[in-house]
Amino acid sequence: METIIEACKALDYSWLPQTVDGFTLVTSTESDYTILANRISAGEDVLKVPIFHYQNELGWRWSALYDKEVEDYTVHIEMPLFSFVDISFVRADLESFWTGLQERCVKGLTNMLIEPANNFTFTYRRRGIPEWDFSQVMPEELEGFVRDIDPAHAIRMINGSFIIGEYHKMDECTGLLLYYNELRDEYFAELRYKSYPEIDHHLDAKNLDDLAVLLREHLGAILKGLNERID
**What residue spans define the domains of the chain?**
2-114, 122-227
Q: Report which residue type is found at 203.
A: L
From 63, 29, 26, 30, select the one nearest 48 (Cα to Cα). Answer: 63
| 91 touches 80 (CB < 8 A) | no
The length of the chain, given as a count of residues? 231
CA 96, distance to chain mean position in Å, is 24
What local confidence, expressed as pLDDT, does residue 89 receive? 96
What local confidence, expressed as pLDDT, does residue 231 receive? 59
- pTM of this structure: 0.90
DSSP state of 90: -
pLDDT tens over the chain, length 231 residues: 889 999 999 999 999 999 999 999 999 999 999 998 999 889 888 899 999 999 999 999 999 999 999 999 999 999 989 999 999 999 999 999 999 999 999 999 999 999 999 999 999 999 999 999 999 999 999 999 999 999 999 999 988 999 999 999 878 889 999 999 999 999 999 999 988 999 999 999 999 999 999 999 999 999 999 998 865
Packing angle of the helix pair 2-9, 30-41 (nearest 10 deg): 170
| 85 touches 77 (CB < 8 A) | yes
Packing angle of the helix pair 94-109, 2-9 (nearest 10 deg): 60
Backbone angles phi, psi at 43, to 5 degrees: 100, 5
Strand order in the sheet with 48-55: 19-20, 23-27, 48-55, 61-67, 72-78, 83-85
